[in-house]
């Protein structure tokens, strides 16, 4: 079956759909170019993973949704994720469409923009045209091209120079309809000396529907800006998750990634920061829990171009039952990026003799005057810690949970919204078989 059949759209259908959405001509042309690339490019190379055997072709079709008049129209699972009250901003995508958007009047008055990406392409054309597809390019591989051709809904978040947003902006992506396209594109652009926290939750509820979540996050952090991106994925077993996250950071800017990978299906994610400017900083924290027969691949990368740039990467994964995880950490320091510091740690905790974890720290150094280091470990729950807790009257199952939760806590505690932190703790308990 050809790629155009699998992705449910040909060029003519794509033109008709884009026209119906009112998209500008330049965006349609980029979609058409990406569609043409999709037929010629290879699948992404995911280490020790046969991606072609995954359900990556079930892209689905665009299905329009009615806008919500308010959160009372939202399913209970969505309402449970919303921080109350919504002091900053909230955007909700249901299947293929954004159905709810709210931004506080005070932030809008300061020039902050929060809208779906279709609207942004029309109303903020110059900004979107400048940044869209510049961090994750369509020509990288087949799935990036498919995404670039077919994304729908999505988020555009813009913070002007000098504006510091103290309350998080939240997004929720929710899928529960058979055969619906689920490929949001998140585009975050921050001006110089600005500050923002963005938090999203990606969730699906149907285990009887095979669909590919093909998502992209692009972050452009201006000079001196501070950007925090927290994301929790909790997709159903029949949903295959392929997510690319990419940030480009200018001089003295900083990006912090906080990622909770709590899916029940096959997952491949790649979170990368390009430290373009001198003095730029990247801090990436990823936690993951695998169960059943899941196959999982998590890659975290930092690429240093700027002098005196700093990167820190921490990945902690817990594997249960027959789950298999490939954990890659890649630090690349380019020639001329003097006085850089790149550190990474990958730790995998296995709770079953049938679980598998593979931690691969990789340092690629093309400059002499730098500091870099890595650490990796794969092992079982520490028996001495369990014994100590049991000697204090705690049951074995509770002792194991406390050790595991302590293993994951350094990342969970960094989530900037209390409601999302609490929700993630609940998801962790469920994934560990406690509810």
Rounded Cα–Cα distance for residues 292 and 412 (Å): 23
For 365, what's the count of Cα atoms within 13 Å in the CB-facing half-sphere?
16
Cβ proximity of 321 and 350 under 8 Å: no
Q: Return the closest-CA partner of residue 315 out of 355, 273, 271.
A: 271
In a domain, 326, yes or no: no
What residues have CB less than 8 Å from 368, skipping those under 6 apart? none
Q: What share of the chain is helix, strand, coil (3-state, %, to 5)?
A: 25, 40, 35
Q: Across 205-294, where does the E strand assignment appear?
A: 211-221, 226-234, 239-249, 254-261, 267-275, 281-290
Query: Where a domain ends, among 261, 277, 293?
Result: 277
pLDDT of residue 435: 62
Q: Which domain holds residue 390?
A: 382-434
Return the pLDDT at 4.
37
297-320 pLDDT, tens per residue? 999 999 999 999 999 999 999 999
Half-sphere exposure of 362 (CA within 13 A, CB side): 14
Of 255, 277, 299, the last residue of a domain is 277
329 phi and psi angles, rounded to 5 deg: -120, 125
At 38-90, the pLDDT tens digits run: 989 999 999 888 999 998 888 888 888 999 999 998 999 899 888 777 889 99
Residue 244 is classified by DSSP as E
pLDDT of residue 15: 92
Per-residue pLDDT for the chain (435 aa), expressed as one digit of tens each?
A: 334 334 456 888 899 999 999 999 999 999 999 999 998 999 999 988 899 999 888 888 888 899 999 999 899 989 988 877 788 999 999 999 999 999 999 999 999 999 999 999 999 999 999 999 999 999 999 999 999 999 999 999 999 999 999 999 999 999 988 778 999 999 999 999 999 999 999 999 878 778 899 999 999 999 999 999 999 999 999 999 999 999 999 999 999 999 999 999 999 999 999 999 999 999 999 999 999 999 999 999 999 999 999 999 999 999 999 999 999 999 999 999 999 999 999 999 998 889 999 999 999 999 999 999 999 999 888 778 888 889 989 988 888 888 888 888 877 887 777 767 777 788 888 787 776
Cα(first)–Cα(last) distance of the chain, in Å?
42
Burial class of residue 357 in the structure, from the number of CB atoms within 10 Å of its CB (0-12 exposed, 13-18 middle, 19+ buried): buried
Residue that is last in its domain, among 277, 302, 320: 277
pLDDT at residue 6 in the model: 41
Q: What is the DSSP letter of 4?
A: H
For residues 232 and 420, what is the distance between their CA atoms, to the nearest angstrom?
8
Helix locations, 43-162, DSSP H? 76-79, 105-109, 117-123, 125-131, 142-150
pTM of the model: 0.95
Cross-strand bridge partners of residue 200? 171, 231
As for how many domains the chain has, the answer is 2
Tell me, what DSSP letter sits at residue 399? H
Residue whose tokens read 């092992």 = 379
Query: Residues 181, 151: contact at Cβ < 8 Å?
Result: no
């Amino acid at each position: 079956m050809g790629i155009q059949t699998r992705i449910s759209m040909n060029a003519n259908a794509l033109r008709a759909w884009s026209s119906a959405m009112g998209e500008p001509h330049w965006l349609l042309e980029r979609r058409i170019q990406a569609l043409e690339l999709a037929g010629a490019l290879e699948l992404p190379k995911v280490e020790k993973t046969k991606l072609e055997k995954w359900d990556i072709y079930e892209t689905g079709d665009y299905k329009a949704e009615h806008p919500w008049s308010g959160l009372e129209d939202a399913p209970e699972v969505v309402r449970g994720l919303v921080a109350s009250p919504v002091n900053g901003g909230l955007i909700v995508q249901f299947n293929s469409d954004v159905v709810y958007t709210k931004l506080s009047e005070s932030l809008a008055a300061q020039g902050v923009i929060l809208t779906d990406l279709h609207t942004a392409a029309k109303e903020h054309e110059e900004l979107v045209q400048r940044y869209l597809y510049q961090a994750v390019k369509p020509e990288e591989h087949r799935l990036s091209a498919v995404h670039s051709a077919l994304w729908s809904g999505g988020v555009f978040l813009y913070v002007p120079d000098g504006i510091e947003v103290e309350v998080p902006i939240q997004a929720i992506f929710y899928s529960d309809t058979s055969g619906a396209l689920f490929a949001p594109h998140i585009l975050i652009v921050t001006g110089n000396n600005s500050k923002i926290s963005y938090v999203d939750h990606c969730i699906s509820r149907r285990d009887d529907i095979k669909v590919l979540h093909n998502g992209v996050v692009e972050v452009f952090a201006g000079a001196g800006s501070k950007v925090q991106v927290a994301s929790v994925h909790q997709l159903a077993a029949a949903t295959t998750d392929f997510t690319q996250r990419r940030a480009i950071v200018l001089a003295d800017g900083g990006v912090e990634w906080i990622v909770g990978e709590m899916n029940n299906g096959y997952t491949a994610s790649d979170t990368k920061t390009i430290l373009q400017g001198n003095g730029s900083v990247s801090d990436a924290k990823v936690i993951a829990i695998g169960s059943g027969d899941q196959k999982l691949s998590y890659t975290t990368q930092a690429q240093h171009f700027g002098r005196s740039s700093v990167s820190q990467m921490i990945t902690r994964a817990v594997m249960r039952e027959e789950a298999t995880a490939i954990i890659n950490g890649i630090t690349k320091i380019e020639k001329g990026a003097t006085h850089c510091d790149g550190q990474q740690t990958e730790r995998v905790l296995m709770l079953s003799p049938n679980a598998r974890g593979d931690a691969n720290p990789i340092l690629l150094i093309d400059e002499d005057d730098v500091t870099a280091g890595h650490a990796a470990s794969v092992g079982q729950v520490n028996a001495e810690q369990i014994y100590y807790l049991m000697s204090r009257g705690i049951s074995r199952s509770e002792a194991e949970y406390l050790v595991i939760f302590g293993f994951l806590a350094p990342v969970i505690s960094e989530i900037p919204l209390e409601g999302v932190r609490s929700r993630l703790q609940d998801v962790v308990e469920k994934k560990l078989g406690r509810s």
